[in-house]
Structures are given as C-alpha cells and as structure tokens.
C-alpha cells in the first residue's frame, strides 16, 4: 500500500481508496471546463455553489467520491459507471437497456441531475448536490473502464505499475495520470489543464474539438451521455485490453502499455472538460457557447426523470458487481 493510499484510507475512514479518475483527473476536467464556460454560466454555477474562488468548479469535483461512502450517499455508488456487457477486445459497445443496472448508472445519473439542477422548486442544497454530481460524473464517464463490465471494470485484473501491486482500473484512474504529471495537487491539475486547453485551442485537438460536441442535446441527456459512454468504451477494445485480459493480467504496465494508454487518457480528460463546459453552458444559457439567451432554457428542459427499470433478472456481470461492491 502506498503512502497516498494509506492517507486516503485515513481520511475516508474505512472507505476503499479507489477514486474514479483520481483527484488529479477530476480536478483537471473541472479546470478545463472552467476555461470554456460562458460568462452567464460562470454566474449561474457560482450562484449555485456559493463559491467564487479561482478553482470554484474543481473544488467540488471529487465530492461525489467521498459522498458515496457515507450512509446518506450510499445509493449513489452505482452512478459512477455503466457496466457494459460487451465482448472486448473483439466487440465493444454500450447498450442503455442492457447495461444500466437496476440501481441506476452514470447515464441515468447525468440525466437525473441535469433535470434536478434546473428544477428551481427543489431546495438549494439539492440543486447544489446535482451540480456537484454532474461535474463528477461527466469526468467518470470518460474513463474507458467506467464503461465496461469485464472483471468489474478491470478492478479484479491484478497488474503491477512501477513495481507496485495494483489493478488495471486503478492505473487508469490514478497511476498513469500521476506518472505523466508528477503529482495530484490542485497546482498539478492546473498545469495539466493549461497544457490540455492549449492543445484544444491551438494544438493537436483544435481540428477535432467541434466533433466532440456532436450528438449533444440538452433535451435528451440519456442519448447525449450515451454518445460519451460509447466513445470511451471503444478504447477498451483498442487500447485498454487490445489483447484481452491475458495481455495485461499479472504484467508490469509501466512501459509500452503506459505509452499507448497515456495518449488516450489525455484525450479523454480533454474531451471531458470540453463537454462538461458545453453541457453547463446549455443548462445555463441554452447554447453550448454564448449565443442564445436564457429564455430558451424552459423549452429545452429535459421532460422526464429517467425511471429505474425493474423486474429484470441480474446478469452474471451484474451479480459479480453486487458481490464485489460498488467501488469504481
């Protein structure tokens, strides 16, 4: 166990240490989003948060990972992922009806909290929680192993990274991002966010960023976030386990595997931040950018809270998840 793992265990009591995208990834996603928020969105978001520091969005980005381990927040544990029951590496896909479990998933959660943050009849604390959930879950859905059921999202695939015994899920959340940046403080996240916004504005992502917003539609949060889930899940086949579980199980991955994975991690963190900004701009202003005025908002309210489906038997993958728990 690393010092850091030990520290987080002490902070969270008996909670498991697995944080989806670690602190570094979630803070970076939020800082990238901050840069692309329209001015009206900044006002909207800061009013709900009651915070206007330079890290106003990043300061709430990991709240959901602590909340899930409290008695009050236990219900939200399945909202951090969608366990896609596909067949990597030969076939990657996500199917909402097949994969979103009876207790909900990251897609139903983004839908629910998008509705709730806009519902001015709710108490302020509920709208605050809704916003904090959105900031976190738009990050989570971009981590490929949050969109994959195999070995409980890679949690039971043992690997080593730089000599440390860990698992495949954990190195995607934490070890690989931290190896790239060298730490996980807010200033490390600011460094990474600044690199990635440079790539988005004028660098290697400038030509593709417009495509990142295709399929985005505030009136259909399920189909919008399913687009993001399918995009992330496709990397399970191409990059996460291109040679199947046997290709990584028991191996040291701090070499060629890191080199191929880190480019996908950077891309996914950049997309998450950019899409989060567009989503919050839609919520606050009715437009992904600052073009349309607020009165359009009412017409674009999502029309339903997604009901959780009942009455289906649990698949083998969903039973394995129940037995494992809802970590990551």
Ligand X SMILES: *[C@@H]1O[C@H](CO)[C@@H](O)[C@H](O)[C@H]1NC(C)=O
The partner in contact with residue 80, picked from ligand X, Zn ion, none with C-beta cut-offs of 5 to 8 angstroms by kind, is: Zn ion
Structure tokens at 213: 């917003």
Active site residue: 140, 147, 231, 254, which one? 140
Active site residue: 127, 169, 170, 275, which one? 169
Specify whether 326 is catalytic: no
Specify whether 21 is catalytic: yes
Tell me the β-bridge partners of 158: 167
* Nearest CB to Zn ion, comparing residues 65 and 86: 65
Active site residue: 27, 83, 86, 173, which one? 173
The partner in contact with residue 108, picked from ligand X, Zn ion, none with C-beta cut-offs of 5 to 8 angstroms by kind, is: ligand X
Decide if residue 20 touches Zn ion (CB under 5 A): yes
Specify whether 231 is catalytic: no
Specify whether 47 is catalytic: no
**Which DSSP category does 65 fall into?**
H
The partner in contact with residue 89, picked from Zn ion, ligand X, none with C-beta cut-offs of 5 to 8 angstroms by kind, is: none
Specify whether 136 is catalytic: yes
* Nearest CB to ligand X, comparing residues 233 and 285: 285
The partner in contact with residue 142, picked from ligand X, Zn ion, none with C-beta cut-offs of 5 to 8 angstroms by kind, is: none
Q: Within 139-168, which residues bind Zn ion (CB under 5 A)?
A: 140
Query: Rounded to 5 degrees, what angle do the CA atoms 19, 22, 28 make?
Result: 140
Decide if residue 80 touches Zn ion (CB under 5 A): yes
Rounded Cα gap, residues 257 and 159, in angstroms:
12
Tell me the β-bridge partners of 252: 160
Active site residue: 146, 170, 321, 326, which one? 146
Specify whether 80 is catalytic: yes
The partner in contact with residue 158, picked from ligand X, Zn ion, none with C-beta cut-offs of 5 to 8 angstroms by kind, is: ligand X
Specify whether 212 is catalytic: no
Cis, peptide link before residue 203, omega less than 30° from 0:
no
Q: How far is the CB of 182 from ligand X (least distance, A)?
A: 25
Rounded Cα gap, residues 111 and 304, in angstroms:
9
Considering only the C-alpha atoms of the chain, give the largest distance between any 2 of them, rounded to a whole number of Å. Answer: 56
Residues with Cβ < 8 Å from 66, sequence gap 6 or more?
12, 15, 73
- How are beta strands 158-161 and 164-167 bridged, if at all? antiparallel
Rounded Cα gap, residues 250 and 191, in angstroms:
33
Tell me the β-bridge partners of 161: 164
| Residue pair 33/277 in contact by the 8 Å Cβ criterion | yes
Residues that bind ligand X (CB under 6 A): 39, 104, 108-109, 112, 116, 158, 165, 201-202, 290, 305-306, 308
Binding-site size for Zn ion (CB under 5 A) equals 4
Q: Candidates 16-24, 123-131, 203-211, 299-307 — which segment interacts with Zn ion by CB under 5 A?
A: 16-24
Q: Hey, is 239 helix, strand or coil?
A: helix
Rounded Cα gap, residues 103 and 96, in angstroms:
13
Interface contacts to Zn ion, rule CB under 5 A: 20, 65, 80, 140
> What residues act catalytically?
21, 26, 65, 68, 80, 136, 140, 146, 169, 173
């Amino acid at each position: 166990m690393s010092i850091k793992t030990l520290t987080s265990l002490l902070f969270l009591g008996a909670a498991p240490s697995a944080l989806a995208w670690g602190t570094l990834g979630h803070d970076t996603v939020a800082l990238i989003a901050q840069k692309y928020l329209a001015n009206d969105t900044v006002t909207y978001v800061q009013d709900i948060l009651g915070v206007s520091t330079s890290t106003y969005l990043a300061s709430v980005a990991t709240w959901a990972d602590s909340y899930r381990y409290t008695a009050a927040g236990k219900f939200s544990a399945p909202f951090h992922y969608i366990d896609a029951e596909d067949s990597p590496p030969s076939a990657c896909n996500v199917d909402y009806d097949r994969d979103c479990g009876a207790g909900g998933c990251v897609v139903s959660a983004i839908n629910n909290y998008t509705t709730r943050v806009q519902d001015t009849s709710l108490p302020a604390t509920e709208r605050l929680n809704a916003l904090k959930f959105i900031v976190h879950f738009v990050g989570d859905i971009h981590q490929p192993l949050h969109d994959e059921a195999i070995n409980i999202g890679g949690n039971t695939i043992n690997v080593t990274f730089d000599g440390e015994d860990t698992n495949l899920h954990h190195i995607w959340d934490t070890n690989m991002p931290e190896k790239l940046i060298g730490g996980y403080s807010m200033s490390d996240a600011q460094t990474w966010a600044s690199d990635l916004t440079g790539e988005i504005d004028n660098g290697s992502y400038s030509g593709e960023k417009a495509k990142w917003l295709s399929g985005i539609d505030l009136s259909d949060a399920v189909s919008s976030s399913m687009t993001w889930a399918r995009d992330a899940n496709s990397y399970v086949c191409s990059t996460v386990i291109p040679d199947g579980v046997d290709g990584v199980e028991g191996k040291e991955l701090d070499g060629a595997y890191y080199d191929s994975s880190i480019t996908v991690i950077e891309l996914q963190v950049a997309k998450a931040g950019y899409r989060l900004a567009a989503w919050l701009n839609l919520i606050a202003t009715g437009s992904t950018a600052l073009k349309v005025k607020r009165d359009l908002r009412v017409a674009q309210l999502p029309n339903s809270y997604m009901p959780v489906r009942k009455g289906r038997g649990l698949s083998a993958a969903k039973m394995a998840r129940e037995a494992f728990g809802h970590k990551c």
